[in-house]
Amino acid sequence: MTVEPSSTAAPPRPTEGVRPGGGRRVRQRRFSRRDRLWAVIMSVILVPIVIVWVYPFIWTVSSSLKSSSEIFGSLSPFSPVLRIGNYAQAWRDAQMGRYFFNTVFVTGFSILIAVLTAALMGYVLGRYRFAGKKVIIAVLALAVFLPEGYTIIPVYDLIDRLHLTDSLWGVTLAEAGGVNIVAVLLFAGYFAQLPAELEEAARIDGAGFLRTFTSVYLPLARPVTATAVIMQFLHSWNDFLLPLVLTLTRPELRTLSVGIYALRGQYLSDWGVMTAGATIALAPIVVVFLLLQRHFVESIAGAVKG
């Protein structure tokens, strides 16, 4: 005779600290009165700073939807009429579309070259021991403080000797040539903290230098790679001096930063078109950073820990 369990029986209570679906249940920490007071104080201090920090960006976006008289008539970011035509005029008449394509080309290929170069340099500095290693790291650290203006002449001379002064490839190589030293040091610190057993296992499997780097270590360095992409993206997208010098004879090869500067002469009185062009240049930076910010924080934390 089979005895069926009663339908009114109480269900088994889950073990304390364990969720019914498996996994441990994390107890929420109760904030004391002092913690709440400290959070309020920090909010009162930081909120005005955030407003002051973000206001220029808000002003630029709002001004791109106004006329010149409305821009200078009031500092309020709100306007009863939204002038979408400023974007169409900036994209078509001010050639922001062509400059945007040029900037995407230069930035994309410079990221590919610079990040791969920085990763290789960081891999060697982080995983290998050789004479003069500390000297090289010290020289790289000092090179961070070298202004770009001091290197513009040799860079231009090198691009001219390669006969690339009148092409986007010349601007791309110039942007990628100054590899971000901070990215190199981040890669070196990240690779140095990885276990040596990975390299030994790859060597037993017959992997050489490049295969070990591309198949083992580089996939593990995604946070640092994302950070290097962000930094090179910001550098190439916003750089002004190198594109200005290398495109003096070919205005159609200008990047967005140089193109917006050139608007001063043609659209001196139309600040709505100028701010619309600036907004077009700013939008990709915000999108890329929002997509990769988590990896950016992880890479900084990993490098510091290492």
Read off the CATH number of the domain in which 234 is found: 1.10.3720.10
Does residue 198 have a pLDDT over 70?
yes
User: How many domains does the chain divide into?
Assistant: 2
Same domain, yes or no, for 130 and 51? no
| Same domain? 52 vs 113 | no
Using alpha carbons, list the distances in angstroms from residue 305 to 129, 137, 283: 20, 18, 33
18 neighbors 24 (Cβ within 8 angstroms): yes
Domain that holds residue 285: 89-305
Q: Which two tokens stand for residue 72?
A: 């200078």
Q: Residue 14: inside a domain, yes or no?
A: no
- Regarding whether 189 and 234 lie in a shared domain, the answer is yes
Residue pair 170/246 in contact by the 8 Å Cβ criterion: yes
Radius of gyration in angstroms for the set of CA atoms belonging to the chain, rounded to a whole number: 27
- Categorize the per-residue pLDDT at 292 as very low, low, confident or very high, splitting at 50, 70 and 90: confident
Is residue 256 domain-resident? yes
158 shares its domain with 275: yes
Mean pLDDT computed over 163-182: 86
For a pLDDT cut of 90, what percent of the chain falls above it?
Answer: 13
Q: Is residue 198 part of a domain?
A: yes
In a domain, 4, yes or no: no
Given the structure tokens 């590919």, which residue do they identify? 112
Average pLDDT of the chain is 80
Same domain, 166 and 300: yes
| pLDDT, tens digit (0-9, with 9 covering 90-100), for 48-107 | 898 888 888 888 888 888 887 788 777 677 777 778 888 888 888 778 889 999 999 999
Measured distance CA(37)–CA(14) in Å, rounded: 36
Q: Quick one: pLDDT band at residue 269, thresholds 50, 70, 90?
A: low
Instruction: Give yes or no: residues 56 and 154 share one domain.
Output: no
Q: Which of the four pLDDT bands, split at 50, 70 and 90, describes residue 248?
A: confident
| Whether residues 169 and 44 fall in one domain | no
| 153 and 274 co-located in one domain | yes
pLDDT at 268: 56
Same-domain pairing of 59 and 155:
no
- Mapped onto helix, strand or coil, the DSSP state of residue 18 is strand
What is the rounded CA–CA span in Å between residue 276 and residue 68? 12
Percent share of the chain, pLDDT over 70: 83
Q: Is residue 115 part of a domain?
A: yes
Last residue of a domain, one of 63, 78, 108: 63
136 pLDDT higher than 80 = yes
pLDDT score for 8: 46
Q: Is residue 202 part of a domain?
A: yes
Q: Is the pLDDT of residue 299 over 70?
A: no
pLDDT in the model for residue 301: 59
Q: Are residues 56 and 147 in the same domain?
A: no
Out of 62-76, 254-268, 274-288, the most confident range is: 274-288
Do 44 and 106 fall within a single domain?
A: no
- As given in the structure block, the two tokens for residue 69 are 């008289």
Amino acid 5: pLDDT: 46
Is residue 109 predicted with pLDDT exceeding 90? yes
Residue 266 has pLDDT above 70, yes or no: no
Q: Are 229 and 292 in contact (CB under 8 A)?
A: yes
132 and 260 inside one domain: yes
Entry pTM: 0.74
Q: Please tell me the predicted confidence (pLDDT) of residue 298.
A: 63
- Domain assignment of residue 19, yes or no: no
Q: Which residue has the higher pLDDT, 73 or 191?
A: 191
Residue 104 lies in a domain: yes
Residue 297's pLDDT band (cuts 50, 70, 90): low
